[in-house]
Each structure stands twice: as C-alpha cells, then as structure tokens.
Structure 1
Amino acid sequence: MHTTVFERIRPDSAIVEQSLADTVHRPFWIDDLGKDAVRYPQLDAELRADLVVVGAGYTGLWTALRAKERDPELDVIVIEARHVGWAASGRNGGFCVASLTHGYENGKNRWPQELEQLERLGRENLDGIEETVERYQIDCDFERTGELSVAVEPHQVEWLKGEAGDGIFLDAHAMRASVNSPTYLAGRWHKDAAAMIHPAKLAAGLAQVLTGLGVRIFEESRVSGLEELPDGVRVSTGAGGVRAKHVALATNVFPSLLKRNSLMTVPVYDYALMTEPLTDKQLAAIGWKERQGVGDMANQFHYYRLSKDNRILFGGYDAIYYAGRQLKEAYEDRDETFRKLASHFFTTFPQLEGLKFTHKWGGAIDSSTQFCTFFGTARKGRVAYAAGFTGLGVGSTRFAADVMLDLLGGQDTERTRLQMVRKRPLPFPPEPLASIGINLTRWSMDRADHNAGKRNLILKTLDAVGLGFDS
C-alpha cells in the first residue's frame, strides 16, 4: 500500500487550526444571499391547479419553468417543505456540468449504446441553461469556464492520457502554468463541459422568474400525502392541499411520497469549506486565470473553484453514510472532515498559508445505485418523479424536468426512449445490509487510492453486476 500526497505532505497542524479558528457553520451561498432572499407564503387553503410540483430545489423549479415555457396558460403551483433552495440546491459546489451520467466513464459502463446521444443531450442541456440565464437575466454569477481533471498521483496521469471524450491534455508544466499546485502531475481541461454558478442565487433567480410567469410558490408547507382522485391527484399538507391534473415529485434526497421508491436512494453527506477572499498577491501565487472548476482523479476526490469575489470553495473527499437512511442537521457538522479538508487544502496550495476559512457546512446527496438520475411515473401516469442525482444535479435537474413533463404528457420523445430513462436501477438493500455494503465500498475505494488505483475483489464484483462506480 502507498500513501497519498495528502498523507506524504501535510501542513503543520497550527496552520490548519488557525485557518478554522473563526469559521461559522453555515452554507456560504445561502449566507451570501442574506437579505436578498425572498420568502413565500404558507399553503393554508384548498386550491386547484393543472400541475403541482413538490419541492422547490432545482428539480422542482426547472420543472415549473419548463412547464410554463411549453404552455404559458398552464396553472402551476410549487410546494416546498422549508424554503426555496435551502437544501442541496443552495449548498452545493456550484459545478453546473454537461454530463447527465455522472461522467463519461460511468455512462460508458452503463449505457454504451446510447452514450454519444447522452453526451449530446447533456451539452444541449447545458447550452439551454446558459440561454435561460441570459434570457431571463438571472443573476447567478454564471461563468462557462469548463472543468479541470487533475492527476495528483502517478497512476492518475495514465488515466488522464487514456481518457476518452473531449478535453485538452496538460502535462505537469502546462497544468501548473494554469493553476499552480505542487501536487499536480497532469490535467485535462474540458473547456466547454461545465459552468460555475452561485447555487443559492440560481435557485432564488429561478423562483423569481416563476412568480413573474404566474407560478404560485408556497414555503413551509410540507406535503404529507398523495390521494388519487377520479380526475387527478390531491396533494395534502398540514394546513391545506391542492387538487391537480398532474404532480411532479422533486423531493430528491428526502423520503419519497411513493412507497416503491423508499429503497431507491440513500442520503450521503458531503462537506465543504469556503475561504475569505484572496488578495491580488495570493491570486497571483496560484494563477487560475481561466477560473475553471477543478476536481482530482482519486476515488475519494476533492472539488474546488473560485467564487465571483475570489474565495475558494474546497469540498469533497469524505462521503459519509449514516446508518438508517436518516436526515439530521447534526450530520451537517463533522469536525473531523473539516480539519481533513483544511489540511488537504494547504497541501494543494501551500503558498496560501495564513488564509482563513469563513464558512464550513455539509449536506445530503441523494445517491442511487446507477450514480445518476432515475425516472418514472405512478398513479396511472398522473404522477412523475426524478431522483438519485448523486451529487451531479445542478445541470441535470433541468434535463430531469423535461423528462418528467414528457412522461406526464404521455409523449414519445428522444428523452423518454432512452434506456437510462426507461430502466429503473437496482434499489439499495434494507438495513443493516445497506450500511455494510456502502461502508465496505467506501473502504475499498480508499484502498484503491492507496494502491495505485487497483480495484479489489469487492469493487470488481460490483463492476461485474453493474453496481460499480468510477468517479
């Protein structure tokens, strides 16, 4: 077994302690929105609509918007248990990528016969997001900078050289000329495959566009049930309800309102840090003039990017599953992980010693066994759902919205003919098997990172039965 670069080159513990000394436990993006956040009323009456969307994260907001763009006369209501964009949509890394399949390799391994089509649809979807942001003038710090995949271990260089798909290969010199880290051995720049956005601003902006189009949004209105009616479905909350022809479920990581989906996802907690704004001198020390998003090639990978005001978001590595599939705010604060991320940050950028982190936070990702979205309908086709984005939903939620609307309309489209859309993935097993399997897989991926990327028998078996994951 080998050590990783983050174990071989560790910053002094005092540097880590100092960097975290004044950090607040709040998602930076939501905190940054602050006084500009718009609040919407609670649902406390019986209403009617053509379409009810449950959930006001990206999936729900895009579904409502795409529905109104298809038919401006459609009466649409969005119901949210807390606030618009408060969960994953307001606290992610802000990587809006073209891939619909959690990367090229995952798509190739699962749907090789339609991979070219999925890649094209993903690029068209990202183009559509950019066009929407421009057309509605959504202020979300949208930057189509692309994404860098970086090698920080020798075996990862060979992976990059052999990587299929687009992208420009960068040797160590070229990579460090672009972003200056002593850990970089090579990189590949996917120039048009990703945009960086401000997550909370995108959610808030989509909601404001919706209200301008006549969509009614209700917050603090947790949906407790679906009742099938002769002419539609009734969505009930504690204080009211809505009767509608169709319902789109955009609850993602939260417990599904459909029993059939109770084992289809598990919540995996991800964590991130945000630095204070860098000075001009600090920026010059790391370069990064093209402002790409960055992700390293390990199984337990880091992702990082610059914000509009030149902070660095640094997240990933630990992906924690807590037994029982429960969602708890206490899980969002994990000191061990925050210290680990801070240490890895200063290994990556030792020239930024003295920089402080202002924010730390965590949140749950809705993971599925195919590591990307699955779809379906219920209640005689009157209810559609999409879930299981597995940490890559900023862009693919818009595609999911179109799929759900196609399904609700009974339309035969290029999207609905995809095997990726038509085939349900395997469910996760119940406890305690889920905990045993997930934690064994995580341990095996860590072992692979310590063994030149070589996959053990557990990972090879998962690959053989279609449950393998190559990040």
Structure 2
Amino acid sequence: MVLTVFERSVPDASAVSAALEGSKLGSFWIDSVARPRYTPLEADAHADLAIVGGGYSGLWTAILAKERDPKRDVVVLEGGRVGGAASGRNGGFCEPSLTHGRANGESRWPHEIDRLDALGSQNLDEIEATVARYGMDAEFERTGGITVAVEPHQLEWLGEDALDAAAVRSFVDSPTYLGGEFDGEGALVHPYKLAIELARVATELGVRIHERTPVRTMTGTDLVTKVGTVRARQVALGTNAFRPLLKRNRLMTVAVYDYVLVTEPLTEVQMASIGWEGRQGIGDMGNQFHYYRLTADNRILFGGYDAIYHAGGHVRREYEDRRETFEMLASHFLTTFPQLSGVKFTHRWAGAIDTCSRFSPFFGTARGGAVAYSLGFTGLGVAATRFGANVMLDLLDGESTERTETDMVRSRPLPFPPEPIASIGINLTRRSLNKADHREGKRDALLRTLDAVGMGFDS
C-alpha cells in the first residue's frame, strides 16, 4: 500500500485541535446573510404550477416559468427555510458541466458529450446573464478552476494542456502540487446569497413562496400539507436528497453527507504566502477528493473527501457534526497549506447530497405528464439545477427541445438496491475507492464491475 501525501505529511495533532477550537457548527454562508422570511401556507390554495422545494431547483423553475409565461400562477412550497438545505451549504462552485465532468459524461453518452458540454456552457452563460439582468448580489465570479495532481500517478490523468508543478504553484502555492490543469470557464458564487436572490426575483415576478410547509403526500397533482391542500394543474418536484413524493424515485437517489470547514479571513501576509491572486476554485484528483476556494473576504473553504452514507439514507441534523471527519479535513488542510499553520476555522458543517448511480441528474414525468422531476445532481447542482428547471418546464409544456432530445435527459440511471444491501454496497465501494487511492489509482474487481454496469464511482 502506498501512503497518500496526506498520510506522509501529517501535521501535529495539537495543531489540528487548535485550528478547530472554537469553530461554530453551522453554514458560514447562511450565517453571513440576513435570512428573509416567507409565511407558511395557511389554507387550501390553487395554482397553475406548484413547485415542491425552495432550493435552487425549485426557485429556478419558478423564475423560468414566469419568464416563459408571466400570467402563469406559480407557488413554491418549502418544508424548511428557502435555501436552507443543499443550496445554502455547498461550496459555491458554479460549474458548466451537466455530467459531473467530461470523463463521466463521455463514458455514458460518448455520442453526445460535445452537445452536452455546449448546453452546459450555455446554461452557465445564461446564469451569469440572469444575475446581471436582475441585479442579483450573489458574489458571482468567473474565476475558472484548477484541477491539481497531488500524487505521481495522477499526472497521467492530466490532459494535453497539463501544467507542471512550478506552473501550478505560480497560481496557488502548495507543496502537495505535482501538476495540474486550468479551466477558465467555471465560476464561484456565494451559494446562500444566490438562493435568497433567486427567491427575491421570483417573488418580484409574482411567485408565492411558503416556507415551513412540508408536503406530506401527493394525490394526482394535489399537494397535501398539514394545514391545507394546494390543488395545481401541474407540479414540479425539486426535493434533492429528501424523500421523493413519487414512489418510482424512492430507490433512485441516496443521501450522502459532505463535510466542510471555513477559516477566519486570511491576513495580507497569509495571502501572500499562498498566492492565489486569481481566486480560482481548486479540486484535487483523488477518488476521495478535496475542493477548496476563497470567499469574498479571503477565508478558505475546504471540504470533501470523506463522503458518509448513513444506514437508511435519512437526512438528519445529528449527522452534521462528525468530529473525526472535521479533524481529518483540518489535518489535510494543514498538509496542503503548511504555511498557514496557526489559522483558525470559524465554521464547520455538513449537508446531504442527492447522489444517483450515474452522478449526473435525471429527469422525467408522471401523472400523465402533469408532474415533472429533476433529481440526482450528486454535488454538482449549483449550475445544473437551472438546466434541470428548464427540462422540467419543457416536459410540462410538452415541448420537444434540444434539451429533451438528448439521451441523457431521456434515460434513467440504475436504482440503488434496498436496505440493508444499499448500506453494505455503498460502504464496500467507499472502501474500494480508498484502496484505489492507496494503489496508484488501480481499481479493484468491485469498482471494475460497477464501471461495467454503469454505476462506476469515478469521482
């Protein structure tokens, strides 16, 4: 077994403890912004289009629906607070890919990957244009991104435009970097600001939003809540990792928990020690990978690596504070940036990702075409949820579009097995991914089998 760089260069345990001491359990993004309130549903209601979920999927669907038809009566029902789940807890990487990276998309839809990439780029451009058109304060930055190799075998995975270690370290200085690639297309956002700005724009367009209104059941297109029923002509479902209202989707996604740390703002001296003048988002190339970025006030957000599945796939608050994972992330951070020894983390948190077996969203309709859904974004939904919103509206409107004619949109991933097989399989797969990272990327029989049946875990 080959030790990874994070095992070869381990910081002192006291430094890890000191860095985490005093950190608050909660999303930095949500803490940094005043939270607007929307009243709960109080009685029965009617709508042309009812949307379940007040995150990116639901809010983009609401805005695009009103832009397509300003007279359409649209209501959004959110079980908690707008943007309070994945939309306010992610890293804020706004990526063009609809397929969780080109390699994943090319392995599944090689005949249309160029088309899907073009649609993804168009979608990101349209997000940028929407932010500008409505004057949305979302800290949108078109910074591009850097993929870094931190192990020798990862250098072989770099493309034609690979950079050597010196070139990568001229962008951002870490002793762990052996090479990398720069992609100038991606963007960064303040994810919670994006969510609340989407809600603001939606309401200004005439959308009604009701928070703290969980939908218990769906009968036809009637959405039943604790206080009343919303009778809608059409329904769009953007429930992310929460329990799907359609039985057909109950085994299509699993909730996997992702963990994140955020530092205090770096001083000018600390910033000078790492460079990072271009503010690019960064991800490394392990099967278990880290992602990290700068905030507007020069904090570093550092997350990923230790994706955790809890038996039963439930979304529960008690899963958000996992000390061993936060200690591991803090250790890996100090390995990545030893020159930042002494920095403190102010926030630590976690959130559930709606993972599907193909790592990219799937779509469909039910109830005679009156209900549409978009699910399974697997951690890359900041931008792709807008594409999914357009797909849902295309399907509800009965339109044949360039989006709906793709095999990606017309196909469904394989379902996960029921419990307890799901827990056994997912945890065995996590073990195999860890083993691959310790065997120079070599995938064992389990991973090769999953690759062959279309459930390959390659990122």
Task: Identify the TM-score tier after normalising by the shorter chain.
Answer: over 0.9
The match for 1:227 is: 219
Q: Distance in 2 between matches of 1:440 and 1:243?
A: 44
The match for 1:205 is: 197
Q: Distance in 2 between matches of 1:226 and 1:327?
A: 20
The match for 1:215 is: 207
Matches within 5 A, 1:273-288: 273-288=261-276
The match for 2:52 is: 54
One-letter identity of the residue aligned with 2:198: L
Q: Write the deviation string for residues 366-404 of structure 1: whole angstroms up to 9, x where unpaired.
A: 000111101110111100001111010000000000000
Residue aligned with 2:449, SS: helix
The match for 1:173 is: 166
Matches within 5 A, 1:109-258: 109-161=107-159, 168-192=161-185, 194-228=186-220, 233-258=221-246
Q: Write the deviation string for residues 111-156 of structure 1: whole angstroms up to 9, x where unpaired.
A: 1111000000000000010000000011011001011100000011
Q: 2:432 aligns with which of 433, 436, 444?
A: 444
The match for 2:23 is: 23
Structure 2 runs not aligned, ≥5 long: none
One-letter identity of the residue aligned with 2:70: P
Question: CA offset at residue 411 of structure 1?
Answer: 0.8
The match for 1:324 is: 312
- State the percentage of identical aligned residues: 62
Q: Distance in 2 between matches of 1:372 and 1:109?
A: 12
Q: Write the deviation string for residues 339-387 of structure 1: whole angstroms up to 9, x where unpaired.
A: 0000000000000001000000001000001111011101111000011
Residue aligned with 1:108, SS: helix
The match for 2:403 is: 415
Q: Write the deviation string for residues 406-425 of structure 1: whole angstroms up to 9, x where unpaired.
A: 00011111111111111111
Q: 1:86 aligns with which of 76, 84, 87?
A: 84
CA contact (8 A) 2:260 2:326 kept: yes
Q: Distance in 2 between matches of 1:327 and 1:53?
A: 21
Q: Distance in 1 between matches of 2:433 and 2:164?
A: 26
Q: Which structure 1 residue ranges, 4+ long, deviate > 2 Å from structure 2?
A: none
One-letter identity of the residue aligned with 1:408: L
CA contact (8 A) 2:40 2:211 kept: yes
Residue aligned with 1:113, SS: coil
Q: Distance in 2 between matches of 1:252 and 1:175?
A: 35
CA contact (8 A) 2:414 2:454 kept: no
CA contact (8 A) 1:375 1:404 kept: yes
Q: Distance in 2 between matches of 1:112 and 1:456?
A: 24
Q: Distance in 2 between matches of 1:183 and 1:161?
A: 19
Q: Does 1:467 align with 2:455?
A: yes
The match for 2:286 is: 298
Q: Distance in 1 between matches of 2:184 and 2:11?
A: 32
Q: Distance in 2 between matches of 1:274 and 1:105?
A: 30
CA contact (8 A) 1:268 1:322 kept: yes
CA contact (8 A) 1:43 1:241 kept: no
CA contact (8 A) 2:281 2:292 kept: yes
Residue aligned with 2:112, SS: helix
Question: CA offset at residue 469 of structure 1?
Answer: 2.3
Question: CA offset at residue 237 of structure 1?
Answer: 0.7
Question: CA offset at residue 467 of structure 1?
Answer: 1.1
Structure 1 runs not aligned, ≥5 long: 163-167
Q: Write the deviation string for residues 30-57 of structure 1: whole angstroms up to 9, x where unpaired.
A: 0111xx2110001011111110000000
RMSD between aligned residues: 0.8
Q: Does 1:371 align with 2:359?
A: yes
Question: CA offset at residue 90 of structure 1?
Answer: 0.3
Q: Does 1:37 align with 2:29?
A: no
Q: Write the deviation string for residues 144-177 of structure 1: whole angstroms up to 9, x where unpaired.
A: 1011100000011111146xxxxx4221011111
Q: Distance in 2 between matches of 1:449 and 1:169?
A: 21
Question: CA offset at residue 65 of structure 1?
Answer: 0.5
The match for 1:165 is: none
Residue aligned with 2:405, SS: coil
Q: Distance in 2 between matches of 1:203 and 1:197?
A: 10
The match for 2:10 is: 10
One-letter identity of the residue aligned with 2:35: A
With the length of structure 1 as denominator, give the TM-score of the two structures. 0.97
Q: Write the deviation string for residues 396-454 of structure 1: whole angstroms up to 9, x where unpaired.
A: 00000000000001111111111111111111000111011111111111111001111
Q: Distance in 1 between matches of 2:204 and 2:163?
A: 45
One-letter identity of the residue aligned with 1:21: E
Q: Distance in 1 between matches of 2:253 and 2:285?
A: 25
Residue aligned with 2:162, SS: strand
Q: Distance in 2 between matches of 1:375 and 1:389?
A: 11
Q: Distance in 2 between matches of 1:195 and 1:74?
A: 32
